[in-house]
Amino acid sequence: MKNNAATVRLTNNYHRNQHGMSFIWLIGVLLGMSVIGTGIAYIATGSTYNAAYKTYHTKALYVAEAGGNYAVPRLASDIDTGVTTNIYALDNQTFPLGNASYLLEVDNTQKAYLYLKSTSTVNKNSIFTAQRLVTFRLNKPIIDNFDNKNNWSGTDAAVVSDPTGQMPSGSNVLQLGTIGGSQTQSQATMNWNNNPLSSVPDLLSQWYIGGQLLSYELQCKVYIDSETAQDHMAGLSFRLGEDNHKAGDNTYDTTYGVSFYRKNCTSGCPGWVTAADFTALTNDYVYIVLWKEIQGTYYLLAYKRLTTADGLVSSNSSGATLNPWSTILVTVLEKFNGANRENHIYVYTGSSTSIVIPALTMYTGGTINWTHYFKGVVWDTINPSYVTSSGTWSSYAYNFTALASQPYIIDSSTYTPPAITTENFAAILPPEIGLHSYYNTSATTYQYFADYAMRFPGGSSQNVIAYY
């Protein structure tokens, strides 16, 4: 019996010890679950915080961009119209947007660009405060004058006072001609590659932006002392080749020209007017001509005889003469036609005198404009051996957005001679744009140019470079 009693006591002690261990294990399990729960809660809280952080910073980015979307068109309007109304009104201003806001800061101190900073703030003064900064750059029209010769190449170019007295007081103009020499042609080309950041356009960037195609518009006003320089061909050059008109090397000599042309000589004529394609123009009339030169050979692509009705010429004892500061504007659109490159060339004129053509007004010296002043050239003759023509006139008013309805010359890389195109532009970095004058030896200093300007597709003055 004693043994049984001892057995019972031992058994009871065992059960008591077993219950104690179970209780300890239960406490351990509860403690472990508590730790795990705390960790899970911490992870969940951190995950929530990270998600909120990303959400609010994304919202901050959108708010900063919204500030830019609000300000950019208003600043661009100021740039286009030449005022500073929005530039001053928006600078250092904060705009609320729900539980967010954006601060605008405008830097208008740079010559070529206007910078806009849009700084957003979301959930200000909370643990979830988020800020983002987005910077915008707007191109400004580059306005310069001919005095800075670093912008131009051409040893026969000189900056002189206006010989006509018709430009604004104190205006300088560019004079082309070899002073004291016997040369009868000259070029002035823009140094866009040597001076790309100050006051000339970055044509290489425009070429890449255009998908390795380069399109633009050019204009200038021309004055010829026609009583002295009775033989002349002067105007805009484009698609200028690498070594154009370098003495002794015409390997890459290529260019298009749009010119005011007059040939008065009957004997001893300069070489440039004896090209076979120009023989039909041997008279005392003034023409506008589109031509190209490839390695010293000149090809007349199209021409139109100008009359007093165009507001560009006057009649006198020696025939028709060009009115001072008549304007040429050319639009060059380079396109692919399948694998072939084409230049679509549109030509316009503007008159410095009062003329009775609807929708046109007098285009005075010392101004640069891209609308309202121009009449499209409807060519009398085009040379089908070199180019084709397309389009019809719907209006005399120049309208850059409606080019499809206006006539133009198509010059293709499939023609003979081929079009001058830009497939090697990045390798050659050619001069590309400039001015030209051709004259007789007694008139080496009688060709003048003013109000040269260029713009790229987009139709905004933000894309303009102008030389007054």
Are 162 and 90 contained in the same domain?
A: no
> Who has greater pLDDT, 197 or 262?
262
Q: Is the pLDDT of residue 90 over 70?
A: yes
Q: Where are the beta strands (DSSP E) in 108-206?
A: 113-122, 130-139, 142-144, 152-153, 157-161, 172-176, 185-190
Q: For residue 394, what pLDDT is reported?
A: 55
Q: Is the pLDDT of residue 38 over 50?
A: no
Q: How confident is the model at residue 238 (pLDDT cuts 50, 70, 90)?
A: very high
CB atoms under 10 Å from CB of 453, counted, come to 22
CA gyration radius, the chain: 37
HEC-encoded secondary structure of 396-444 = CCCCHHHHHHCCEEEEECCCCCCCCCCCCHHHHCCCEEEEEEEECCCCC
Are 112 and 9 contained in the same domain?
A: yes
Are 95 and 238 contained in the same domain?
A: no
Helix (H) or strand (E) holding 40: helix 2-81
Helix (H) or strand (E) holding 93: strand 93-97
**Structural domain boundaries enclosing 308:** 142-467
Are 79 and 167 contained in the same domain?
A: no
Q: Which of 112, 139, 166 is the last residue of a domain?
A: 139
Q: Is the pLDDT of residue 301 over 90?
A: yes
> Who has greater pLDDT, 182 or 363?
363
The SS3 call for residue 284 is strand
Q: How far is CA 131 from the centre of its chain?
A: 34
Q: Is the pLDDT of residue 16 over 50?
A: no
Q: Tell me the whole-structure pTM to 2 decimals.
A: 0.73
Are 79 and 153 contained in the same domain?
A: no
Are 343 and 212 contained in the same domain?
A: yes
Are 355 and 391 contained in the same domain?
A: yes
> Who has greater pLDDT, 397 or 269?
269
Q: How confident is the model at residue 18 (pLDDT cuts 50, 70, 90)?
A: very low
Are 14 and 150 contained in the same domain?
A: no
Question: How would you classify residue 162: left for phi > 0, otherwise alpha for psi between -120 and 50, otherwise beta?
Answer: beta
Question: How would you classify residue 396: left for phi > 0, otherwise alpha for psi between -120 and 50, otherwise beta?
Answer: alpha
Q: Which of 139, 169, 195 is the last residue of a domain?
A: 139
Are 115 and 189 contained in the same domain?
A: no
Helices (runs of H) and strands (runs of E) counted in the chain: 4, 25
Are 76 and 114 contained in the same domain?
A: yes
Q: For residue 42, what pLDDT is reported?
A: 43
**407 vs 385: CA distance, rounded Å:** 18
**462 vs 340: CA distance, rounded Å:** 31
**451 vs 172: CA distance, rounded Å:** 10
CB atoms under 10 Å from CB of 396, counted, come to 14
Q: Is the pLDDT of residue 373 over 50?
A: yes
Q: Is the pLDDT of residue 421 over 80?
A: yes
Phi/psi of residue 327, nearest 5 degrees? -110, 140
Q: Which of 93, 119, 139 is the last residue of a domain?
A: 139
Burial of 62 (0-12, 13-18, 19+ CB in 10 A): middle
The structural domain count of the chain equals 2
Q: For residue 396, what pLDDT is reported?
A: 47
Q: For residue 252, what pLDDT is reported?
A: 58
pLDDT digits (tens, 9 = 90+) for 284-297: 889 999 999 988 88
Are 132 and 168 contained in the same domain?
A: no
Are 131 and 157 contained in the same domain?
A: no
